[in-house]
Amino acid sequence: MICPACKIPMIVVERNKVELDCCTSCQGVWFDKGELELLLDPLTGSIAGTLIENIMGLPPAETTEKRLACPICRQKMKKVDIGKTSGFIIDVCNSGHGFWFGEGETSKLIAQLLNGKPEDKDIQDKMLFFVGDTLRAGLINRESINTGGD
Amino acid sequence: MWEQIRDNQVRTVILVTALGFMLILPGSLLGQTVLGDWSVGLLLALLIWVVMTLVGYFQGDSILLSISKAHKIGPDDMPRIYNVVEEMKIACGMEKMPDIYIIDDPAMNAFATGRDKNRASLAVTSGLLQKLNRDELQGVVGHEMAHIKNRDVLLMAMCSILLGAIVMLAWCGSRILFFGGVTRRSSSGGGNGQLIILLPAVALMIFAPIMAQFIYLAISRKREYLADASSALYTRYPEGLASALEKVGASTEQLKSANNATAPMYILNPFRRKNQVAEDLTSTHPPVSERIRILRAMAGNTSLSGYEAAYKNLHQGGGSIIPGSALLAEGSSPHAQVEGQASPHVEGVDEVRTRARETHDALWKLSNYQMIACQCGVKLKIPPGYKGAFLQCPHCGTVHSVVPD
């Protein structure tokens, strides 16, 4: 899959048998509809479908950020604010192919997690928690470092 | 099955001839209108017809597979589908294993193509592999193998190629007529006569694709029933195909690489209105709800006659759908009666996820992705164009080295 922002191939990160497409250049994350179904309800996919439809139905967010194209259908995605209190803007494909979390949003999720306040109340939180938890060490393109971990 | 095979051969010849006329008539009329000489148009149409037929016969399957963006796979790439195809190959008594192709698309569908049973291919989408369990997959593969064995594949491939070409030519023809034809009209000096020829030419060009579509419809519906019946016979488990059709029919995913000409090839019509389930009316296939009803009414008798009986039961007074010779040849097969149907297997969440990963991992490997399993349980899949020698696991922070291409 090609990163909607940088137009380079993204790496795939699989955790608990669910895949995320991650860009090591801009730190953005694509959550595909099929993967969201696998995370939330693999047997029917209806919970994931409802979540996507609800988010698609939100009014477009007022932002100056550039609109990006869906990596599946190449149509311009919609920017929506899904934050419950503060602004948390993600891109959603108008055909429901998935969600795009920009760099700012992924770091917010990771920070929230490291502060010890993982919210896991509803299905939307469950999705956000999964993204944050999977990327808790951050997406860093290590070009010159020794192997073996820290 | 000889009756069915013979029937398919006759139909193929009829189809090629009928489509030939559909080309020649507008071709000559177009020649008369645009160039003022009908013989040029006729010759050109004849030439196109011969070339199309030859291409359809010799290259039809490869063209269809490549426009459907199908990738060929081997036994090790995806053992699950390979094993199922091998089982069905044995069940239906075919000698040669068909080539297996995968279409990378979340929509669920499958088709078979080829010239005869020695040169046949079977294509399935990744969505189908991911979402169907083994019984269901067997049902679908059994259906496609029946198409190969009954020689439906050549007829269907020829149909797709010829129909596709006619639609394309009609499109070109109408453009030539409306944009090119006008400027030359004065030189040929036809006046009123011109208009008389022009009108039927336009009418033909509009109707040819529609007529071709009708031929296609007529030939594809009935053989779907026979393929369903054969699938039940090969698998001895009609519920597998019934449940697969139910899943495929309920899905709202659109197959991206399908078009009007290739639609009838698939096990279920790939076209949906946006976010709608497969429609029963105006479809190139029999209504899916009816196909499921018949399969479920077979009640343990998985022979062709069992299917026929179930069909007749649901259609009081309706005709027969399985050719007489097929029923005769079958006789009273000792294995056809299945004692008590196994209850459908209820699958768990983990099973569905594991199948999804198997399917996707095979596709990643086909695209030359590098797989790294991190000690924390995370798997990293790195695209061939990745820049950099190292990658940090985003979950636990372990740094892995990446082998350059």
Going from N- to C-terminal start, the domains of chain B cover 2-65+154-219, 79-147+223-330, 368-405
* Active-site amino acid positions of B: 144
Specify the higher pLDDT residue, A2 or B194: A2
Query: How far is it, in rounded angstroms, from Cα B26 to Cα B11?
Result: 23
Pair B170, B28: CB distance under 8 Å = no
CATH code: domain B79-147+223-330 is 3.30.2010.10
| Angle CA A36–A39–A43, to nearest 5 | 95
Q: Which residues contact A98 (CB under 8 A, 6 or more apart)?
A: A30, A31, A32, A33, A35, A36, A52, A70, A72, A92
Displacement of CA A49 from its chain's centroid (Å): 16
Q: SS3 of B297, please?
A: coil
Give the CA distances from residue B158 to residues B55, B267, B270, in Å, rounded to whole numbers and listed in that order: 9, 17, 19
Residue A20: strand pairing partners? A13
- At A144 the pLDDT is 45
Gyration radius of chain B over CA positions: 25
Tokens representing A92?
A: 């959603």
- At B165 the pLDDT is 75
Query: How far is it, in rounded angstroms, from Cα A82 to Cα B280?
Result: 38
Confirm whether the ipTM is greater than 0.95.
Answer: no
pLDDT in tens, chain B (405 residues): 566 667 777 777 877 787 777 777 777 777 776 777 778 878 888 888 888 888 888 888 888 898 888 999 999 889 999 999 999 999 999 989 999 999 998 888 899 998 888 889 999 999 999 999 999 999 999 999 999 988 888 887 887 777 777 777 777 776 766 665 544 444 444 455 556 556 666 666 666 666 666 666 656 667 788 899 999 999 999 999 999 999 988 877 777 777 666 776 777 777 655 444 554 444 556 778 888 999 998 877 888 888 888 888 887 766 677 777 777 777 555 455 555 555 666 778 888 999 999 999 999 999 999 999 999 999 999 999 888 888 889 999 898 988 877
- At B186 the pLDDT is 46
Residues of A contacting chain B (CB within 8 angstroms)? 8-19, 22, 24, 33-34, 38, 42-43, 133-150
User: Residues of B with CB below 8 A from A136's CB?
Assistant: 394-395
Locate the chain A residue with the closest alpha carbon to B132.
Answer: A43
Within 10 Å of residue B301's Cβ, how many Cβ atoms? 17
- At A148 the pLDDT is 40
Query: How far is it, in rounded angstroms, from Cα A102 to Cα B369?
Result: 24
| Angle CA B223–B229–B232, to nearest 5 | 145
- At A3 the pLDDT is 94
Tokens representing B112?
A: 């078979």
Q: SS3 of B35, please?
A: helix
Pair B165, B67: CB distance under 8 Å = no
- At A2 the pLDDT is 93
- At B136 the pLDDT is 95
Taking residues A25-54, report their average pLDDT.
90
Query: How far is it, in rounded angstroms, from Cα B268 to Cα B249?
Result: 7
Locate the chain A residue with the closest alpha carbon to B401.
Answer: A147
Query: How far is it, in rounded angstroms, from Cα A89 to Cα A134?
Result: 19
- Name the percent of chain A lying above pLDDT 90: 49
User: Residues of A with CB below 8 A from B371's CB?
Assistant: none
Angle, helices B181-188 vs B192-235, to 10°: value is: 140
Locate the chain B residue with the closest alpha carbon to A33.
Answer: B106
Going from N- to C-terminal start, the domains of chain A cover 11-107+117-131
Pair A150, B393: CB distance under 8 Å = no
- At B346 the pLDDT is 72
Q: SS3 of B278, please?
A: coil
Q: Which of B262, B252, B315, B310 is CA-nearest to residue B284? A: B262
- At B280 the pLDDT is 44
Tokens representing B365?
A: 């490997």
Q: Which of B222, B266, B316 is CA-nearest to residue B110? A: B266
- At B324 the pLDDT is 73
Q: Which of B123, B394, B317, B231 is CA-nearest to residue A21? A: B394
- At B283 the pLDDT is 52
Q: CA of A143, closest CA in chain B: separation in Å?
A: 5
Query: How far is it, in rounded angstroms, from Cα B148 to Cα B8?
Result: 12
- At B198 the pLDDT is 63
Give the CA distances from residue B284 to residues A150, B269, B271, B335, in Å, rounded to whole numbers and listed in that order: 60, 7, 10, 33
Tokens representing B233?
A: 């016979």
| Strand (E) or helix (H) holding B310 | helix B304-314
Q: Which of B352, B381, B398 sits opposite A11 (nearest CB)?
A: B381
Query: How far is it, in rounded angstroms, from Cα B118 to Cα B95?
Result: 8
Pair B294, B311: CB distance under 8 Å = yes
Specify the higher pLDDT residue, A115 or A82: A82
Locate the DSSP E strands across B327-384: 370-373, 379-382
Q: Which of A104, A129, A106 is CA-nearest to residue A116? A: A129
Q: CA of A135, closest CA in chain B: separation in Å?
A: 5
- At B67 the pLDDT is 84
Q: SS3 of B70, please?
A: strand
Taking residues A12-30, report their average pLDDT.
93
Pair A134, B395: CB distance under 8 Å = yes
**Across the interface, do A17 and B378 touch by the CB < 8 Å criterion?**
no
Residue B123: strand pairing partners? B101, B111
**Across the interface, do B388 and A143 touch by the CB < 8 Å criterion?**
yes
Displacement of CA B306 from its chain's centroid (Å): 26
| CA pseudo-torsion sign A45, A46, A50, A53 | positive
- At A140 the pLDDT is 63
Q: What is the pLDDT of residues A84-140, one digit of tens each?
A: 766 889 999 999 999 999 988 888 888 888 776 656 678 888 899 899 989 988 766
Say which amino acid occupies B41.
G
Q: Residue B263 gets which letter from DSSP? A: G
B119-125 and B99-103 beta bridge pairing: parallel
User: Residues of A with CB below 8 A from B108's CB?
Assistant: none
